[in-house]
């Protein structure tokens, strides 16, 4: 039987077992397409049904989250935690609070997380969680009551040696604080059970910056293979949250010009480039005022396009940093046609499968999220180490460790993704991430 048939048969089974979970199917298919030829050459993985096991979460938790809003009305949300794979260490992965959250989205994210965490070379298993709660438009008190209710169920399933959640879309420093406070109260224990904590109470320097900085370091490594750098490059970034903000900061530091940002309502185009003062404004707007990116356009007199994404703006390098499936086939084609030479995914699975084909056919430098945005979880891993040792490393120490991790991930992708002169970073990340998890699962028996 040919490898295509193997892939089809495997995917038929995944689709039948996980009916209607389209994002999960998409994430699994992208991995299986590049892994199946490798697995066919290494029968020990096939015999032990490693892929079948890796696509079945070790545990799925789904629970009711009741809370009372500022009007005294009862609200009900749904909470989730997917404990996907613990072969390498405690489950580790973020919590997402967004109205679109469902089982399919969290299973795709948890599945990707297993490979990503393995790529960091740190002892981290993979998981993901969250809720369909929308923090937008809620008061601080409402967010706190929600977080307390969410943790009142979650606390019994997590722990520093079991499962260590972090932030993701809609979960930043404020939410991690409320979640940590409630965990501590319920367990009567000050423990490194969450990462992304405040600096005063166990957080790591550089954790807020890590995903954006890491995805920029990945682009730097990719560009180096073409004897290029970010200096004087025009850069398009989507999103305006945590990842987008710190990608902008690092690109600026390295001499690039960031000309776009976006949110779920639309995009801004600033042809003169974002500078330190403008970035400060974005951080205040998004992290404190919790306003819309449209206000940037009004303040600095630049273009705002409602309902649009940045991919039609000419750029040399693109950093999708908002959400999944935000680059369609047409968007990818527009980027390539306008001269984009490098795409580093700060977001998880931001490019549709058809878009990925466009990038790969054009042979541009293209790093998938599981490699490019691994700096976030890697620095969470460093936060866990500091918590265990009860020490705090300096900003420079953490940044240097993060940079080395990204350099090593790039090297692993290159090693396993070599196709003649071209590096297929998707294949490289999938194989490099897989081998460590799969071998550990073999060592640990059928569990």
Which sequence positions are flagged as catalytic? 128
Q: Which residues of 97-131 are buried (b: 16+ CB within 10 A; e: fewer)?
A: bbeebbbbbbbbbbbbbbbbbbbbbbebbbbbbbb
Longest dimension (CA), the chain: 64
Q: How far apart (Å, rounded) are the C-alpha atoms in residues 177 and 434?
A: 34
> What does each C-alpha distance from 427 to 30, 38, 46, 418, 434 come to in angstroms?
9, 10, 18, 9, 10
- Number of CB atoms found within 10 A of residue 250's CB: 20
Asked if 69 and 142 count as a contact pair (C-beta separation under 8 A), the reply is yes
Element (H, E) at 109: helix 103-119
Taking the complex as a whole, the smallest distance from the CB of residue 211 to ligand NDP amounts, in Å, to 4
Nearer to ligand NDP, 148 or 323 (CB): 323
The answer for residues whose C-beta is within 8 angstroms of residue 301's C-beta and 6 or more apart is none
Q: How far apart (Å, rounded) are the C-alpha atoms in residues 437 and 119?
A: 10
Nearer to ligand NDP, 152 or 379 (CB): 379
Binding site for ligand NDP (CB under 6 A): 167-170, 172, 211, 239-244, 263-265, 321-323, 346-348, 373, 376
Nearer to ligand NDP, 170 or 256 (CB): 170
Nearer to ligand NDP, 154 or 218 (CB): 218
Q: Give the residue among 96, 107, 12, 19 at the shortest CA–CA distance from 57.
A: 107
Taking the complex as a whole, the smallest distance from the CB of residue 331 to ligand NDP amounts, in Å, to 13
Taking the complex as a whole, the smallest distance from the CB of residue 243 to ligand NDP amounts, in Å, to 4
Taking the complex as a whole, the smallest distance from the CB of residue 212 to ligand NDP amounts, in Å, to 8
Taking the complex as a whole, the smallest distance from the CB of residue 374 to ligand NDP amounts, in Å, to 8
Q: What is the DSSP string of 240-264?
A: -SHHHHHHHHHHHHTT-EEEEEEET
Nearer to ligand NDP, 118 or 240 (CB): 240
Nearer to ligand NDP, 120 or 234 (CB): 120
Per DSSP, the three-state class of 306 is strand
Q: Give the residue among 98, 175, 115 at the shortest CA–CA distance from 432.
A: 115
136 φ, ψ (degrees, to nearest 5): -60, 130
Work out the angle between the directed axes of helices 103-119 and 425-443 (0-180°, nearest 10): 90
- Residue 272: Cβ-neighbour burial (10 angstroms; 0-12, 13-18, 19+): exposed
Nearer to ligand NDP, 222 or 285 (CB): 285
Taking the complex as a whole, the smallest distance from the CB of residue 369 to ligand NDP amounts, in Å, to 6
Taking the complex as a whole, the smallest distance from the CB of residue 170 to ligand NDP amounts, in Å, to 5
CA-CA-CA-CA torsion sign (115, 120, 122, 126): negative
Taking the complex as a whole, the smallest distance from the CB of residue 311 to ligand NDP amounts, in Å, to 12
Q: What's the length of the chain?
A: 447
Asked if 165 and 196 count as a contact pair (C-beta separation under 8 A), the reply is no
Nearer to ligand NDP, 45 or 246 (CB): 246
Per DSSP, the three-state class of 197 is coil
What is the end-to-end Cα distance of the chain in Å, rounded? Answer: 29
């Amino acid at each position: 039987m040919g490898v295509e048939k193997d892939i089809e048969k495997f995917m038929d089974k995944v689709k039948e077992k996980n009916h209607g979970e389209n994002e999960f199917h998409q994430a699994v298919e992208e991995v299986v397409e590049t892994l199946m030829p490798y697995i066919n050459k290494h029968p020990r993985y096939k015999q032990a049904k490693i892929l079948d096991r890796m696509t079945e979460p070790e545990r799925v938790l789904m629970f009711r989250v009741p809370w009372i809003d500022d009007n005294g009305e009862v609200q009900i949300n749904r909470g989730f935690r997917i404990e996907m794979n613990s072969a390498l260490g405690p489950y580790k992965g973020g919590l997402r609070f967004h109205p679109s959250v469902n089982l399919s989205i969290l299973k795709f994210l948890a599945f990707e997380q297993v490979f990503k965490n393995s790529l960091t070379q740190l002892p981290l298993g993979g998981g993901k969680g969250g809720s369909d709660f929308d923090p937008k438009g809620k008061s601080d008190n409402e967010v706190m009551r929600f977080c307390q209710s969410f943790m009142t169920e979650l606390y019994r399933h997590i722990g520093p040696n079991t499962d260590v959640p972090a932030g993701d879309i809609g979960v930043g420093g404020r939410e991690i604080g409320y979640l940590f406070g409630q965990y501590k109260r319920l367990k009567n224990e000050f423990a490194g059970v969450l990462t992304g904590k405040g600096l005063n109470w166990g957080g790591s320097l550089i954790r807020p910056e890590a995903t954006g900085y890491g995805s920029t370091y990945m682009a730097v490594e990719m560009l180096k293979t073409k004897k290029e750098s970010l200096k004087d490059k025009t850069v398009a970034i989507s999103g305006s949250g945590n990842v987008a903000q710190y990608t902008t900061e690092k690109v600026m530091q390295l001499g690039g010009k960031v000309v776009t940002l976006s949110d779920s309502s639309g995009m801004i185009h600033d042809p003169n480039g974002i500078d330190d003062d403008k970035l400060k404004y974005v951080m205040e707007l998004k992290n404190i005022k919790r306003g819309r990116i449209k206000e940037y356009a009004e303040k600095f007199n630049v273009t705002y396009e409602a309902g649009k994404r940045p991919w039609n703006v000419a750029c040399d390098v693109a950093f999708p940093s908002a959400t999944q499936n935000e680059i369609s086939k047409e968007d990818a084609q527009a980027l390539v046609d306008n001269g984009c030479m490098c795409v580093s995914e700060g977001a998880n699975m931001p490019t549709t499968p058809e878009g990925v084909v466009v990038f790969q056919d054009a042979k541009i430098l293209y790093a998938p999220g599981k490699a490019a945005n691994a700096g976030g979880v890697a620095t969470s891993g460093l936060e866990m180490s500091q918590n265990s040792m009860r020490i705090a490393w300096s900003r420079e120490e953490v940044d240097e460790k993060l940079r080395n991790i990204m350099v090593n991930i790039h090297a692993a992708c290159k090693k396993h993704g070599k196709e003649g002169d071209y590096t297929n970073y998707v294949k490289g990340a999938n194989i490099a991430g897989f081998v460590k998890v799969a071998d550990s699962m073999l060592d640990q028996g059928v569990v």
